Amino acid sequence: MILAVFLVGLLLPMLLGMPVAFAMLVCGVALMLTMGQFDVTLIAQTVVNGADSFPLLALPFFILAGEIMNAGGISRRIVDVAVSLLGHLRGGLGYVAILATVMLASMSGSAVADAAALSAFLVPMMIKAGYSPARTVGLIAAGAIIAPIIPPSIPFVFFGVLAGVSITKLFLAGIVPGLLLALSLVITWWWIMRTEAPPRLPRASARQIGRAFADGLWALGMPLIIVFGLKFGVVTPTEAAVACAVYAYLVSMLVYRELAHRDLYRIFVRVAMTTSVVMLLVATAMLSAWLVTVSGIAQTVVELVGPLVQSPILLMMVIMVLVVVIGTALDFGPTVLILTPILMPVVKAAGIDPVYFGVLFVVNNAIGLISPPVGTVLNVVAGVSRVSMTEVIRGVWPFMFAQLAALAAMTFFPWLVIVPAAYFAR
Give the pLDDT of the chain (426 residues) as one tens digit per residue: 676 777 777 777 777 877 777 887 888 888 788 877 777 787 788 778 777 777 777 778 888 887 887 777 777 787 788 888 877 777 788 888 898 888 878 777 778 777 877 887 788 878 877 888 888 899 999 998 998 898 878 888 888 888 888 888 888 888 899 999 999 999 999 998 887 767 677 787 888 888 888 887 787 777 777 777 777 777 788 888 888 888 888 888 888 888 888 888 888 988 888 788 777 877 887 777 777 767 766 666 666 666 777 788 888 888 888 888 777 766 677 778 778 888 888 888 888 899 999 999 999 988 988 887 667 788 778 877 788 888 888 889 999 999 999 999 999 999 988 888 887 766
pLDDT of residue 393: 86
Structural domain tally of the chain?
2
Residues 58 and 34 placed together within one structural domain of the fold: no
Q: Are residues 17 and 140 in the same domain?
A: no
Distance in angstroms (rounded) separating the CA atoms of residues 361 and 102: 19
In a domain, 250, yes or no: yes
Q: Are residues 4 and 110 in the same domain?
A: no
- In terms of Cα–Cα distance, which of 225, 230, 239, 237 is closest to 425? 230
Q: Is 78 within a domain?
A: yes
For residue 299, the model assigns a pLDDT of: 66
Q: d(Cα 152, Cα 187) in Å, to the nearest integer?
A: 25
- Amino acid at the residue 301: V
- The whole-number pLDDT of residue 64 equals 85
Q: What is the pLDDT of residue 360?
A: 94
pLDDT at 36: 76
Whether 32 and 143 map to the same domain: the answer is: no
Taking the CA atoms of residue 158, residue 163, residue 166 and residue 167 in that order, the dihedral angle to the nearest 10 degrees is: -10
DSSP-derived secondary structure letter, 63: H
* Whether residues 5 and 102 fall in one domain: no
Examine residue 43 and state whether it is found in any structural domain, yes or no.
no
Q: Is 73 left (phi over 0), alpha (psi -120 to 50) or beta?
A: left
Other C-beta atoms within 10 Å of 381: how many? 31
Dihedral sign of CA atoms 238, 216, 130, 199 in order: negative
Identity at 345, one-letter amino acid code: P
**Residue 46 within a domain:** no
* DSSP structure class, residue 145: T
* pLDDT at residue 253, rounded to an integer: 87
- Predicted TM-score (pTM) of the model is 0.82
Length of the chain: 426
Contact 125, 309 (CB under 8 A): no
What pLDDT is attached to residue 306? 64
Same domain assignment for residues 14 and 153: no
281 alpha carbon, distance to own chain's centre: 16
pLDDT at 409: 93
Q: Tell me, yes or no, whether 44 lies in a domain.
A: no
Task: Tell me, yes or no, whether 140 and 173 share the same domain.
Answer: yes
340 and 302 in a common domain: yes
Contact yes or no for 319/410 (Cβ under 8 A) = no
Neighbours of 178 (CB within 10 A): 24
Q: Residue 5 half-sphere exposure, CB side, CA atoms within 13 Å?
A: 19
**330 lies in the same domain as 282:** yes
Domain hosting 1: range is: 1-38
pLDDT, position 162: 82
Answer for the pair 345, 305: CB distance below 8 angstroms, yes or no. no
**201: helix, coil or strand?**
coil
Q: Using alpha carbons only, what angle is made at residue 25 by residues 22 and 29, rounded to the nearest 5 degrees?
A: 140
Does residue 49 form part of some domain? no
User: Looking at the structure, do residues 168 and 245 belong to the same domain, yes or no?
Assistant: yes
What pLDDT does residue 359 have? 93
375 and 266 share one domain = yes
Q: What is the pLDDT of residue 197?
A: 66
Q: Is residue 136 part of a domain?
A: yes
Q: Domain for residue 22, yes or no?
A: yes
**Calpha distance 351→366 (Å, rounded):** 24
Examine the domain organization and report whether 149 and 200 are in the same domain.
Answer: yes
